[in-house]
Amino acid sequence: MNRRGVALVSTAHVADDFYQGAVPALLPFLVAERHYTYAAVSGLTLAATFLSSVAQPAFGWLTDRRPRRWLIPGGMGLAALGVALAGLMPTYPLTWVVIALSGLGVAAFHPDAARAARQASGDSNRAMSIFALGGNVGYALGALVTTPVLVWAGLHGTPVLLAPAAVMIVVLVLRLGPVLDGPSGRRARTASPAVADEWPAFLRLTGVVVIRSIIFFGITSFVALYLIARLHASHVVGGAALTVFLVAGALGTLAGGWLADRTSALMSIRVGFVLAGPAIAGIVLAGNLAVAFVFVALSGIALYIPFAVFVVLGQDYLPNRIGTASGVTVGLAVSIGGLFNPIFGAVADATSLRTSLAIVMVLPVLGLLVSLTLREPAVRRNRRTQPTQGPPEPPPDAVERE
C-alpha cells in the first residue's frame, strides 16, 4: 500500500465531494432570495445528482480506453466552478446549467480517482475504505461550510467556495504523478489481467448495490420524519438522528474495509446486510428516542460496511474495465436506487411512515440473498493459486510502500 498515494487521493476526494454537499446547502438560499418553487429546487437537485451519477459510467468508459488522470483535477475544477457560478446566475435556466456542469465535474472526477486509489491501495480494502470515507467527509463539510459562507455574504459569496478546489488542484498537479508513480512521475506499465471480465457476476453485484442504495435513501429520507411523527421528536432532534446515521456510517466504512481485508469482500457485504435488517427493525419498534438513536447508529454502521468494498469488488469482476466498474458502482447503481424513493413516499402517504420503513426493513434479506449468488472474483482466485515467487525488483523510481 502506497500510504502517501492513498492519503493524497483520499484528500482529493474530500475536496471534490465538498461541492456535492454544497449544492443542498445552496437550495434554501435560492428559495429565500430568488423565490424558487420546490419543484424548481427539485430540478436543481436532479441536475446535480442524477445527471452526475448517470454520466459516471461514460467517463469510466473513456478512462478504460486510455487513462486520463487529468480528469481528477479537471473534474474537481468544473465541480467547483459550477457551484461558484450558481450564486451569480441571473436566471433559473442558467443556474440549472451551471449546477449540471458541477455535477458533470463530480462525475468526471470519480472513475479515474477510484483507479488512482486502487493503484495506491494495492489489494487493501482498508485503504479503499479510507478513499470512500473521504467522499463522505467532503459531502458533510460542503454543507457545513457553505451555510455560514452564504449567511455572511449571501448568494454572491459563492465564489469564495472555490478556495478548497484551487488549493487541491495545485497540489494534484504538482504531486499526484510523483506520489503515485515515483519521483520522475513516469508511470509503470501495468500488465493486462490474465482473466476475462466477469460480466454476469458484475451485474449481480450491481443489483446488490442498487438494493443497498434503495435502503439507504429510504432511511435518510424518512428516519427524521418518522421520529417526529411516531416519537414526537422536535425537528432539531430529527435532524440530529440523520447526523448520527451519517457519522456512524463513517465508522462502518472503515470497519467494512478492515473486515474485508481479514476475511473477504463478500463476507463484508453479507455481514452488512445481516446487521442492517435487525437495526432497521429496531428503529421501527423503538418505544423511545434513546433506543431509536441507538438503532439509527447501528443502521448507519451496517449500511456503510459494504460501501467501499463494492468499488473494489466491482473492479475485480471487471479487471479490464476498471473505470467502467468504478463509474457504475460509485454512480449509476446508487442513483438507480434513489429512483425507488418516491414509491416509499407514496406508501407512506397511503398508509403510514411506519409501514414504509417496515418495507425497507425486509430489503436487507433480499440484498443478502443476491449477495449469496456471488463468488470470489477470478482475479483473486488466480492470485491465490499462483506459485509463490520472490518479490519483483522495484523500479528505480518506486515510492516507499508499506
The verdict on 85 and 151 lying in the same domain is yes
Distance CA 92, CA 116 (A): 37
Residue 397 resides in a domain = no
The verdict on 126 and 222 lying in the same domain is no
Q: Domain of 155: which CATH number?
A: 1.20.1250.20
Residue 10 is predicted with a pLDDT of 93
Q: Is 59 in contact with 71 (CB distance < 8 Å)?
A: yes
Averaged over 36-42, what is the pLDDT? 79
Of the candidates 332, 132, 17, the one whose C-alpha atom is nearest the C-alpha of residue 324 is: 332
374 pLDDT higher than 90:
yes
Averaged over 237-256, what is the pLDDT? 86
The verdict on 258 and 295 lying in the same domain is yes
Which among 127-141, 159-173, 346-360 has the top mean pLDDT?
159-173
388 pLDDT higher than 50:
no
Distance CA 60, CA 65 (A): 9
pLDDT band at 384 (very low <50, low <70, confident <90, very high): low
Residue 194 is predicted with a pLDDT of 63
Residue 319 resides in a domain = yes
pLDDT band at 180 (very low <50, low <70, confident <90, very high): confident
pLDDT band at 398 (very low <50, low <70, confident <90, very high): very low
Top-confidence residue, 123 or 365: 365
The verdict on 230 and 259 lying in the same domain is yes
**Of the ranges 46-55, 125-134, 204-213, 277-286, which one carries the lowest mean pLDDT score?**
46-55
Residue 358 resides in a domain = yes
219: domain range? 199-384
**Of the ranges 17-21, 61-65, 212-216, which one carries the lowest mean pLDDT score?**
61-65
Residue 394 resides in a domain = no
62 pLDDT higher than 70:
yes
Strand segments, DSSP code E, in 265-393 are none
The verdict on 218 and 358 lying in the same domain is yes
* Angle made by CA atoms 369, 375, 380, in degrees to the nearest 5: 150
Residue 174 is predicted with a pLDDT of 92
Q: What is the pLDDT of residues 298-333, one digit of tens each?
A: 999 999 999 888 988 988 899 888 888 888 887 777
The verdict on 34 and 170 lying in the same domain is yes
Residue 128 is predicted with a pLDDT of 84
Residue 234 is predicted with a pLDDT of 86
Residue 192 is predicted with a pLDDT of 53
Residue 156 is predicted with a pLDDT of 92
Residue 27 resides in a domain = yes
Distance CA 375, CA 144 (A): 41
93 pLDDT higher than 90:
yes
- Say how many domains are in the chain: 2
The verdict on 57 and 19 lying in the same domain is yes
The verdict on 274 and 239 lying in the same domain is yes
Distance CA 36, CA 134 (A): 32
What pTM, to 2 d.p., does this model score? 0.77
Chain-centroid distance of CA 149 in Å reads: 25
Residue 139 resides in a domain = yes
**Residue 134: CA atoms inside 13 Å, Cβ hemisphere, count?**
21
Q: Which residue has the cell 423511545?
A: 288
The verdict on 87 and 236 lying in the same domain is no
Residue 165 is predicted with a pLDDT of 96
8 pLDDT higher than 90:
yes
Residue 387 is predicted with a pLDDT of 53
The verdict on 232 and 341 lying in the same domain is yes
The verdict on 211 and 270 lying in the same domain is yes
Q: Is 330 in contact with 52 (CB distance < 8 Å)?
A: no
